[in-house]
Each structure stands twice: as structure tokens, then as C-alpha cells.
């Protein structure tokens, strides 16, 4: 049993992230029943996952008796060993169903893990055993290869869910950026308007500066004893400034 638990832990570590399963998990809030391992599946609420119980069982003595009967070709012993193995697996499945299947906190089925491919193959060869366990106890049998395939399928589902959640986050971010960009466009337009107004004001100031400079030059000419500018020239200077303005 300990070896089966160790092997099951290695499979879970290989296939899933640590946050996707729990060890020694309480199947109900505050409950005393704890399953060896449980996969965390998304529930209706984000903080309340649904657990898929997985319990490893290895009826070693029954399996060894079966192998001995097969090696000795003793038909009677073989029938007895098969009956004992079927009884042991059925008993473990019933116990798992009673202790660990607790909807809505868990799924409505659990997995009984058989850690040896040969043992799993013998269990499948027992007529109607796997179907009966699923129908009566809602427990599915799984060997190493079968469980690894199941875990890989679940991992793909987790990745798809994560992509969907991140896609929603990206969409929200893009919506926010779209709103921010629209506001930035308004600010940029206002800034361009103010820059254009400032440029026009600077041009007007330059024109006024040139007009004042010419008039000051006329005053300097008077101070130097030069003849005063013709009135027509002064008026033409004003007209030029008005045209430039």
C-alpha cells in the first residue's frame, strides 16, 4: 500500500502542478475523512473547488496467490485466487465510495488506483467487475498507464481553462487601454490646438516687434539730424504691418 501511494504521488507530480491536487485531503469541510490524493477541479465558485478522490490499493497477498496459481496451472487454486482478488477489490471500492464520495464537495465518482499493470489487467479480466464497480459504487479502476492518460487529459483541460481565463483578462485590459487611448487622443488634440494658438501668438509678437523696431529706427534718425520720414512712408509702414498681421 505504501509503495502504491508513493508511485501515485510520483505520477501526480509528473503530470500536474502542485496547486492542481492535494495530499491527505479532507473531502468535506471540517470532516475527519481524508483521502490519500484528490485532484482539484474547478467548482461553481472560484474558492470552492470540487475534489476528485484517488486512492491507491495493492492487495499484494491476493495478487501473489493468483500468480502462484497461474504458475502451477492449478485450476482450482486459480479460481479461488481470482475470487479472492475480486472480493478484495470490491471491498476496497465500497470503502472508497462510503468514505470519499461526497458531492457537491467531491465528484460523484472516485478512482481506485492499482499500481501494477499486471494487477490492473487481471482486474479487467474478471467478468463484469469494472462495470459493476462503476455502476454500484461509482468507482473506476485505473492502472499506471490509464491514470497517466487521465491526468494528461485533465492537464489539457486545466490549460484550456487557464487560457480562457487569461483571454478574459486580456480582453478587459484591451478595453481599458482603448478607453485610455481615447482620452489620450482628446488630450493630444487639445495640446495641438494650444500649440497652434501659441505659435500664432509668437508670430504676431514677432510682427509687432519688427514694426516697433522700424518706428524706433525713425526716431533715431530724427535724433541724428536726418530729415523726418515722409508721412507717406510712415503710413506705408503701418500698412505693411497690417498686411503682415
What are the φ and ψ backbone dihedral angles of 50, each rounded to 5 degrees?
-105, 130
Q: Which of 119, 121, 96 is nearest to 109 (CA)?
A: 96
- Give CA–CA dist 75/143, Å, rounded: 26
pLDDT, greater one: 221 or 114: 114
**Mean pLDDT computed over every residue of the chain:** 78
pLDDT at 231 over 60: no
Rounded CA gap, 134 and 166, in Å? 36
- Over residues 150-206, the pLDDT tens digits come to 888 887 766 665 555 554 555 565 566 556 556 655 665 676 677 677 666 666 766
Instruction: Record the pTM.
Output: 0.64
pLDDT digits (tens, 9 = 90+) for 120-138: 999 999 999 999 999 999 9
More confident residue, 172 or 245: 172
> Does residue 53 or residue 202 have the better pLDDT?
53
**DSSP-assigned letter for residue 1:** -
- Residue 192's alpha-carbon distances to 132, 153, 187, 195, 197, in angstroms, are 78, 57, 9, 5, 9
Q: Are 113 and 94 in contact (CB under 8 A)?
A: no
How many whole angstroms separate alpha carbon 69 and alpha carbon 78?
5
Which residue shows C-alpha cell 464497480? 133
Range ranked top by mean pLDDT from 23-37, 70-84, 87-101: 87-101
Higher-confidence position of 45 and 240? 45
pLDDT at 114 exceeding the cut of 50: yes
Predicted local distance difference test score (pLDDT) of residue 155: 78
**Segment among 12-26, 31-45, 101-115 with least mean pLDDT:** 31-45
174, containing H or E segment:
helix 144-223
CA distance 136 to 96: 12
Helix and strand numbers (H, E) in the chain are 7, 5
d(CA 204, CA 91): 100
3-state secondary structure of 55: strand
Q: What is the pLDDT of residue 191?
A: 67
Percent of the chain scored above 90 by pLDDT? 34
In this prediction, residue 98 carries a pLDDT of 95
Q: Quote the percentage of the chain above a pLDDT of 70.
A: 64
Provide the pLDDT for residue 193: 74
Return the higher-pLDDT residue of 190 and 68: 68
Cell numbers at 2, concatenated: 505504501
* Confidence at residue 137, expressed as pLDDT on a 0 to 100 scale: 94
Please tell me the distance from the alpha carbon of residue 49 to that of residue 40, in angstroms, as a whole number. 6
Residues 157/180, Cβ–Cβ less than 8 Å: no
Amino acid at each position: 500500500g505504501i509503495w502504491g501511494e508513493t508511485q501515485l504521488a510520483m505520477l501526480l507530480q509528473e503530470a500536474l502542478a502542485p496547486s492542481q491536487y492535494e495530499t491527505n485531503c479532507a473531502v468535506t469541510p471540517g470532516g475527519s475523512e481524508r483521502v490519500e490524493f484528490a485532484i482539484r477541479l474547478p467548482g461553481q465558485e472560484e474558492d470552492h473547488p470540487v475534489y476528485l478522490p484517488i486512492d491507491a490499493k495493492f492487495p499484494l497477498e491476493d495478487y501473489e496467490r493468483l500468480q502462484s496459481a497461474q504458475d502451477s496451472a492449478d485450476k482450482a487454486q486459480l479460481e479461488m485466487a481470482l475470487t479472492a482478488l475480486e472480493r478484495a477489490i470490491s471491498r476496497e471500492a465500497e470503502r472508497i465510495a462510503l468514505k470519499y464520495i461526497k458531492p457537491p464537495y467531491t465528484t460523484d465518482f472516485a478512482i481506485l488506483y492499482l499500481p501494477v499493470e499486471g494487477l490492473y489487467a487481471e482486474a479487467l479480466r474478471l467478468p463484469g467487475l469494472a462495470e459493476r464497480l462503476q455502476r454500484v459504487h461509482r468507482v473506476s479502476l485505473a492502472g499506471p498507464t490509464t491514470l497517466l492518460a487521465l491526468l494528461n487529459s485533465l492537464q489539457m483541460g486545466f490549460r484550456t481553462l487557464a487560457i480562457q481565463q487569461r483571454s478574459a483578462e486580456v480582453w478587459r485590459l484591451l478595453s481599458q487601454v482603448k478607453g485610455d487611448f481615447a482620452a489620450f487622443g482628446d488630450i493630444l488634440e487639445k495640446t495641438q490646438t494650444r500649440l497652434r494658438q501659441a505659435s500664432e501668438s509668437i508670430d504676431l509678437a514677432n510682427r509687432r516687434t519688427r514694426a516697433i523696431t522700424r518706428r524706433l529706427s525713425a526716431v533715431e534718425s530724427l535724433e541724428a539730424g536726418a530729415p523726418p520720414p515722409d508721412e507717406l512712408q510712415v503710413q506705408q509702414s503701418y500698412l505693411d504691418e497690417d498686411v503682415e498681421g
